[in-house]
């Protein structure tokens, strides 16, 4: 297979696309359940489509550009799980082909080939969570598109537009997923390697990066939500608090194969460094990529298999270098066959659970199909905890979507400011049901009776309170 995809014939490109679809599509039609992050994104997009503004009318830490994409999806397709499954397939394919095009255009490797795209597409299929439309996936699309403007030789006076574009595109990526701002480190390192005037070029890059943020800040300033934008989005992402969507052992089970492949190819490429000066600089740039990707994965609010997306460009680069350096076809083909077979086994066995070792605990990742969540349907809800499963069949009707933000108010009920703020946010549109801890609800009914006094606990679930009209 390696020998087949080393050619740039159109038939190879078509075969690559068909191979990728053959790997990805079966689980789409198999009916992989909705994940909790996807449910939250659907609820956010639905709320924004109803005319509510993020940060002002919706208290959440989602990045503004990613939220805008979810809003657009809801306008066009509503809560369509099919759209949330097909769009990531399209984005991954675009990322792989764009990265492959950049590598070939700038002669990153000695040969022009489809191997970078092949490795990118295969490695990205290791687990079905990578099939979901996350802010990180959206942001990585912009990061990969920015590479074209960063790894080319630049001459004095001719790189103004390119570096500004690179910074601008990186800014759009950070507006999808804030920790991607650290890719500026890689961009600045690329300027040191390739640009003729490092200081001037760095200013152009930073100006391009700041431009989309200046537009966003101006917009939220005029809509009266600049303070919440800073408090909810810009500041909390740097608390280095690690939260796992999957058990750490399960994350290691899934990512062990691609990470071992990456480490092995990195070591092999370093020991067989390219002779050309330009390609040696690319190798240095990709070495910087790895620690930056590790830091971004750590400072993200949740660590899961999605973190692999940060390493895929480096994996495609080092993997291609490895296969081009191995002269014996038998070794190349055997090594790739083992890697490819392992990815396919991980993708399907971790979901089907036929082998005990590959059984992955998915309770914190997938929505819960328990009957108690289906009792209430097509109602306006306020959920005062982290259990978003109640939104499977219902709508958000208050600004409090993110409990980590909402508890800043609900844990300060001894202060007049918090009580008044909660009343303002609830009184505009009382929810039909409130999901909350009974002790918290009693305190709310005592201190804010006008807003919460009309609610009574339902008989079959003491944490659900219905509004009695």
Q: Which two tokens stand for residue 372?
A: 């108690």
Q: Which among 358, 384, 400 is the end of a domain? A: 358
* Cβ-contact 209, 168 below 8 angstroms: yes
Q: Which among 329, 358, 387 is the end of a domain? A: 358
Q: What is the pLDDT of residues 144-187, one digit of tens each?
A: 999 988 887 544 444 567 889 999 999 999 999 999 999 999 99
Could you list the beta-strand ranges (E) of 147-227: none
The answer to whether residue 439 is domain-embedded is yes
- Residue 385 CB burial class (10 angstroms; 0-12, 13-18, ≥19): middle
Enumerate helices (H) and strands (E) in the chain, giving the number of each: 19, 5
pLDDT band at 94 (very low <50, low <70, confident <90, very high): very high
Same domain, residue pair 315 and 387: no
Q: Which two tokens stand for residue 39?
A: 């449910």
Same domain, residue pair 270 and 340: yes
- Alpha carbon separation from 422 to 51, 196, 457 (Å, rounded): 20, 56, 20
- Looking at residue 383, what DSSP letter applies? E
Q: What is the pLDDT of residues 286-338, one digit of tens each?
A: 999 999 999 998 887 777 889 999 999 999 999 999 998 888 888 889 999 99
Same domain, residue pair 257 and 331: yes
The answer to whether residue 423 is domain-embedded is yes
Same domain, residue pair 181 and 277: yes
Same domain, residue pair 75 and 137: yes
Q: How many domains does the chain have?
A: 2
Q: Which two tokens stand for residue 244?
A: 């796992």
Host domain of residue 344: 2-358
> Within a 10 A sphere around the Cβ of 345, how many other Cβ atoms?
14
Same domain, residue pair 283 and 414: no
Would the CA dihedral through 96, 99, 104, 108 be positive or negative?
negative
DSSP reduced 3-state for 466 = strand
Whether the model clears a pTM of 0.85, i.e. scores above it, the answer is yes
What is the side-by-side order of every strand in the sheet holding 455-458? 395-396, 380-383, 433-435, 461-467, 455-458
Same domain, residue pair 15 and 160: yes
The answer to whether residue 157 is domain-embedded is yes
pLDDT of residue 155: 42
């Amino acid at each position: 297979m390696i020998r087949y995809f080393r050619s740039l014939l159109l038939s190879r490109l078509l075969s690559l696309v068909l191979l990728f679809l053959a790997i990805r599509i079966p689980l789409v039609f198999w009916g992989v359940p909705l994940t909790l992050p996807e449910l939250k994104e659907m609820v956010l997009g639905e709320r924004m489509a109803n005319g509510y503004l993020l940060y002002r009318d919706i208290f959440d830490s989602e990045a503004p550009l990613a939220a805008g994409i979810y809003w657009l999806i809801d306008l066009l397709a509503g809560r369509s799980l099919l759209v949330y499954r097909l769009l990531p397939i399209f984005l991954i394919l675009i990322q792989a082909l764009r990265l492959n095009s950049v590598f070939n255009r700038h002669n990153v490797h000695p040969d022009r080939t489809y191997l970078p795209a092949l490795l990118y597409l295969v490695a990205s299929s290791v687990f079905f969570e990578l099939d979901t439309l996350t802010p990180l996936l959206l942001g990585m699309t912009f990061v990969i598109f920015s590479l074209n403007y960063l790894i080319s030789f630049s001459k004095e006076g001719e790189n103004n537009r390119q570096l500004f574009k690179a910074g601008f595109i990186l800014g759009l990526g950070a507006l999808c997923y804030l920790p991607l701002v650290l890719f500026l480190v890689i961009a600045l390192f690329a300027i040191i390697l390739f640009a003729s005037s490092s200081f001037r070029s760095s200013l152009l890059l930073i100006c391009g990066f700041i431009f989309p943020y200046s537009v966003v800040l101006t917009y939220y300033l005029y809509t009266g939500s600049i303070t919440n934008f800073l408090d909810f989005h810009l500041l909390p992402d740097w608390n280095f608090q690690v939260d796992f969507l999957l058990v750490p052992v399960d994350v290691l089970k899934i990512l062990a194969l691609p990470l071992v492949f990456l480490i092995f190819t990195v070591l092999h490429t370093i020991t067989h460094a390219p002779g050309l000066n330009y390609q040696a600089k690319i190798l240095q740039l990709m070495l910087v990529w790895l620690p930056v990707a590790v830091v971004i994965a750590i400072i993200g609010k949740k660590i899961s298999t999605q973190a692999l997306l940060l390493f895929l460009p480096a994996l495609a680069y080092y993997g291609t270098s490895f296969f081009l350096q191995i002269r014996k076809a038998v070794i190349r083909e055997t090594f790739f066959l083992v890697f490819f077979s392992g990815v396919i086994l991980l993708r399907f066995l971790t979901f089907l659970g036929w082998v005990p070792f590959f059984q992955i605990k998915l309770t914190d990742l997938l929505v819960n199909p328990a009957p108690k969540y289906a009792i209430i349907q097509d109602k306006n809800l306020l959920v005062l905890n982290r259990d978003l499963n109640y939104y499977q069949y219902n709508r958000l009707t208050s600004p409090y979507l993110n409990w980590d933000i909402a508890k800043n108010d609900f844990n300060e009920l001894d202060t007049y400011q918090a009580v008044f703020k909660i009343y303002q946010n609830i009184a505009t549109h009382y929810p039909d049901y409130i999901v909350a801890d009974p002790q918290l609800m009693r305190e709310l009914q005592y201190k804010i009776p006008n807003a919460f006094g009309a609610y009574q606990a339902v008989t079959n679930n003491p944490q659900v309170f219905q509004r009695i009209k």
